């Protein structure tokens, strides 16, 4: 798709951001720009700007799909930028996992010429140079008030702020102080650099916001070179402008920061640092997902208090967690497309995420049989020691994917739920005297069961009809209402299966300051031993299957061993929540 596309990708649903980009493209707003080497720049350049201070979660995935998706659909590009201006909270571990997660989601920040992976800390020299210019031009000053005085003079929503007594100190004095701040002559908090805007502005963010503060702290990339660090609100728009970003998309809480975003870039354009058109900020609603929490701080608490088994616990809404759970990147992209983007915050129901997952997996996942709650079924009239192959399609809607086969023998595992000694009304599966079809095999008639001394059923008995095998002419002579799955006892693969469900039982686990630990779903994880169709034994890590009648499962990417997969339940076949 070329840059001159006026309607965006035909398949992508429209949203207000596409409307804005379409209008900009039509007006030629960002047309004809070139980079420093004179190469033409795309008319849409977005960026995903995570702070490397935690693991990405499903909310970030929305932002990733949005930023990279728009760039892709408009023939532009999206930068991966680490917003690492805050020295103490950032670590390499987080940089690595973010790179990994964005790549896994299916997006790339590389193009033919460049990597387009950036760190805000790479701009520290230029950010500082611009700060000196702002001081010289009278747009910024060093404030030497105490933190308390500064807070007191800031005013409130109903009251204007008061000018700092240092606001009108000569630019040369501010410049000297700024240089000495940089040289390390002062302690943290002794001075601060502020933009000179309007202490009476109704927008608190315009009341001379801080742009540089003293912080004697080690930075994960610049080490001890700096002891002053730029504020986010200062570094962010400048990073966007340095990278020639066109549309800078952020969540709604930054709406009140936009006037400063525009103010700082306007001043710097006047100073000759940037040429117009400048990047523009647009806000969209953040993702709030029911039955989940998406605050980095609370996710950290789940990990630290060992409520979950780490950042990649398959119940976590982190990207590493949902990846391990068995979600596909395509299902997340589909989800992001379905929820779209809006200008007002709202809740998205977990069932929409799970629905996208089911739709994606249904089309892809090969089918196998798994018995999760095993009970033995003995076919008394089937010869001992004999076995025969039964065939089934790999995928019922894709005959081209061929067939699989697995053995049937005298002793089978069936689901305990598929037998009732005394059937309830409407029960069509195994009970004495009733016939059912063993899926892909024979019709059998139940003859009774064996019990232990406590009265628990330990085996079910039946006899089979030798002319009833599925796929043969005789099969049609038998009309049965029940159809149950099974695996052959001597051939089955015994495997650990982790039955995961939603981590929280409450749709809004942390709403209104609630303690989300009270909202945990006690049944979010149970570990069982299951018997699976022989083919499951060769599953590789990350292989996904539909276990017929049960749901979708994946070979766990961490704990599976060659020839000995461990499975995670990704999602059940149908949504049973709230029903």
- Residues annotated as catalytic (active site), given as ranges: 51, 286, 296
- CB 61 within 8 Å of CB 106: no
Q: Which letter does DSSP use for residue 150 in this model?
A: H
The Cβ-side half-sphere exposure at 127, using a 13 Å CA radius, reads: 26
Which helix (H) or strand (E) element contains residue 162? Answer: none
- Applying CB under 6 A, among 49, 370, 374, 551 the residue interacting with ligand ATP is 49
Q: Is 295 in the site for ligand ATP (CB under 6 A)?
A: yes
- Applying CB under 6 A, among 296, 491, 508, 517 the residue interacting with ligand ATP is 296
Least distance from ligand ATP to the Cβ atom of residue 12, Å = 18
Nearest to 534 by CA among 556, 505, 563: 563
CA dist 166 and 135 (Å) reads 13
Minimum CB distance to ligand ATP smaller for 90 or for 556: 90
Least distance from ligand ATP to the Cβ atom of residue 469, Å = 54
Q: 107: buried, middle or exposed (CB in 10 Å: 19+, 13-18, 0-12)? A: buried
CA dist 262 and 71 (Å) reads 22
Task: Write 177-184 long-range contacts (CB < 8 A, 24+).
Answer: 177/142, 177/144, 178/131, 178/132, 178/135, 178/142, 178/212, 179/132, 181/142, 181/212, 181/214, 181/227, 181/228, 182/128, 182/226, 182/227, 182/228, 184/216, 184/227
Q: Is 221 in the site for ligand ATP (CB under 6 A)?
A: no
Minimum CB distance to ligand ATP smaller for 288 or for 447: 288
The Cβ-side half-sphere exposure at 38, using a 13 Å CA radius, reads: 0
Instruction: Quickly tell me which residue has 């003995």 as its tokens.
Output: 378
- Applying CB under 6 A, among 12, 29, 41, 51 the residue interacting with ligand ATP is 51
- Applying CB under 6 A, among 24, 30, 43, 50 the residue interacting with ligand ATP is 50
Q: Which stretch binds ligand ATP (CB under 6 A): 156-164, 293-301, 394-402, 532-540?
A: 293-301
Least distance from ligand ATP to the Cβ atom of residue 221, Å = 16
- CB 101 within 8 Å of CB 140: no
Least distance from ligand ATP to the Cβ atom of residue 247, Å = 12
Q: Which stretch binds ligand ATP (CB under 6 A): 113-121, 163-171, 286-294, 495-503?
A: 286-294
Minimum CB distance to ligand ATP smaller for 336 or for 519: 336
Q: Is 447 in the site for ligand ATP (CB under 6 A)?
A: no
CA dist 48 and 82 (Å) reads 8
CA dist 464 and 444 (Å) reads 4
Residue-wise burial string across 85-104, b where 16 or more C-beta atoms lie within 10 A, e elsewhere: bbbeebeeebbebbeebbeb
Minimum CB distance to ligand ATP smaller for 297 or for 454: 297
Q: Which stretch binds ligand ATP (CB under 6 A): 7-15, 46-54, 452-460, 518-526?
A: 46-54
Q: Is 59 in the site for ligand ATP (CB under 6 A)?
A: yes
Q: Count the neighbouring beta carbons within 10 Å of the beta carbon of residue 544.
A: 20
Binding string to ligand ATP for residues 93 to 122, with x set by CB under 6 A, is what? ------------------------------
Minimum CB distance to ligand ATP smaller for 51 or for 262: 51
Least distance from ligand ATP to the Cβ atom of residue 52, Å = 8
Least distance from ligand ATP to the Cβ atom of residue 295, Å = 5
Residues 127-186 within binding reach of ligand ATP (CB under 6 A): none
Nearest to 549 by CA among 444, 460, 429, 424: 429
* Distances, alpha carbon 272 to alpha carbons 133, 141, 268, in Å: 10, 20, 6
Q: Is 287 in the site for ligand ATP (CB under 6 A)?
A: yes
- CB 560 within 8 Å of CB 539: yes
- CA-based torsion, 352, 358, 360, 363: positive or negative: negative
Q: Which stretch binds ligand ATP (CB under 6 A): 49-57, 139-147, 223-231, 562-570?
A: 49-57
Q: Which stretch binds ligand ATP (CB under 6 A): 47-55, 314-322, 377-385, 539-547?
A: 47-55
Minimum CB distance to ligand ATP smaller for 48 or for 567: 48
- Applying CB under 6 A, among 154, 286, 491, 549 the residue interacting with ligand ATP is 286
Minimum CB distance to ligand ATP smaller for 214 or for 292: 292
Q: Which stretch binds ligand ATP (CB under 6 A): 122-130, 288-296, 334-342, 555-563?
A: 288-296
- Applying CB under 6 A, among 294, 331, 333, 488 the residue interacting with ligand ATP is 294
Least distance from ligand ATP to the Cβ atom of residue 396, Å = 37
Bridging pattern class, strands 77-82 and 117-119: parallel
For the chain, the C-alpha Rg in angstroms (whole number) is 31
Q: What are the backbone angles phi and psi of residue 93, rounded to the nearest 5°?
A: -50, -40
Least distance from ligand ATP to the Cβ atom of residue 213, Å = 19
- Applying CB under 6 A, among 21, 44, 60, 123 the residue interacting with ligand ATP is 60
Nearest to 525 by CA among 496, 493, 560: 496
- Applying CB under 6 A, among 25, 46, 63, 153 the residue interacting with ligand ATP is 63
CA dist 443 and 481 (Å) reads 11
Binding string to ligand ATP for residues 243 to 282, with x set by CB under 6 A, is what? -------xx-------------------------------
Instruction: Quickly tell me which residue has 């039509």 as its tokens.
Output: 26
Which residues would be at the binding site for ligand ATP (CB under 6 A)? Answer: 49-51, 59-60, 62-63, 250-251, 286-287, 294-296
């Amino acid at each position: 798709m070329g840059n001159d596309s006026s309607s965006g990708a035909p398949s992508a649903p429209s949203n207000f951001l596409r409307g804005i980009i379409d209008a900009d493209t039509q007006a030629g707003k960002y047309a004809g720009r070139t980079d420093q080497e004179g190469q033409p720049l795309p008319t849409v350049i977005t960026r995903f700007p995570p702070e490397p201070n935690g693991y990405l979660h499903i909310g970030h995935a929305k932002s990733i799909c949005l930023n990279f998706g728009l760039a892709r659909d408009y023939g532009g590009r999206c930068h991966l930028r680490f917003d690492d201006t805050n020295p103490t909270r950032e670590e390499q571990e987080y940089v690595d996992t973010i790179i990994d997660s964005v790549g896994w989601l299916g997006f790339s920040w590389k193009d033919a010429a460049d990597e387009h992976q950036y760190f805000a800390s790479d701009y520290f020299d230029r950010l500082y140079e611009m700060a000196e210019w702002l001081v010289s031009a009278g747009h910024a000053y060093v404030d030497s008030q105490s933190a308390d005085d500064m807070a007191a003079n800031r005013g409130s929503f109903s009251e204007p702020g008061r000018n700092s007594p240092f606001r009108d100190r000569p630019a040369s004095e501010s410049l000297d102080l700024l240089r000495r701040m940089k040289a390390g002559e002062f302690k943290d908090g002794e001075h601060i650099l502020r933009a000179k805007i309007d202490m009476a502005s109704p927008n608190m963010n315009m009341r001379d916001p801080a742009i540089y503060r003293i912080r004697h702290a080690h930075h994960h990339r610049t080490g001890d070179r700096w002891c002053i660090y730029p504020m986010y609100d200062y570094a962010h728009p400048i990073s966007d402008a340095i990278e020639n970003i066109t549309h800078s998309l952020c969540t709604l809480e930054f709406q009140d920061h936009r006037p400063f975003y525009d103010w700082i870039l306007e001043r710097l354009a006047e100073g000759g640092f940037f040429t117009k058109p400048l990047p523009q900020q647009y806000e969209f609603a953040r993702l709030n997902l029911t039955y989940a929490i998406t605050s980095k701080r609370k996710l950290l608490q789940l990990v630290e208090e060992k409520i979950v088994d780490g950042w990649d616990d398959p119940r976590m809404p982190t990207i590493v967690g949902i990846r391990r759970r068995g979600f596909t990147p395509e299902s997340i992209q589909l989800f992001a497309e379905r929820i779209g983007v809006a200008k007002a915050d709202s809740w998205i129901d977990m069932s929409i995420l799970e629905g996208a997952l089911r739709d994606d997996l249904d089309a892809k996942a090969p089918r196998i049989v798994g018995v999760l709650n095993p009970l033995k079924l003995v076919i008394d009239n089937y010869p001992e020691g004999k076995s025969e192959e039964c065939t089934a399609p790999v995928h019922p809607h894709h005959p081209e994917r061929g067939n699989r086969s697995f053995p049937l023998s005298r002793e089978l595992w069936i689901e305990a739920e598929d037998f009732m000694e005394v059937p309830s009304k409407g029960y069509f599966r195994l009970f004495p005297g009733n016939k059912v079809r063993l899926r892909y095999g024979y019709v059998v008639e139940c003859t009774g069961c064996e019990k232990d001394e406590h009265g628990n059923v330990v085996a079910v008995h039946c006899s089979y009809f030798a002319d009833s095998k599925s796929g043969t002419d005789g099969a049609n002579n038998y009309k049965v209402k029940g159809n149950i799955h099974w695996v052959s006892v001597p051939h089955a693969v015994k495997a650990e299966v982790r039955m995961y469900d939603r981590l929280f039982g409450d749709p809004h686990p942390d709403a209104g300051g609630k303690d989300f630990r009270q909202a945990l779903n006690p049944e979010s994880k149970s570990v069982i031993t299951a018997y699976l169709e022989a083919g499951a034994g060769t599953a590789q890590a990350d292989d996904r299957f539909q276990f017929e009648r049960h749901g979708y499962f994946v070979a766990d990417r961490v704990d599976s061993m060659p020839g000995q997969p461990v499975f995670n339940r990704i999602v059940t076949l149908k949504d049973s929540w709230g029903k």
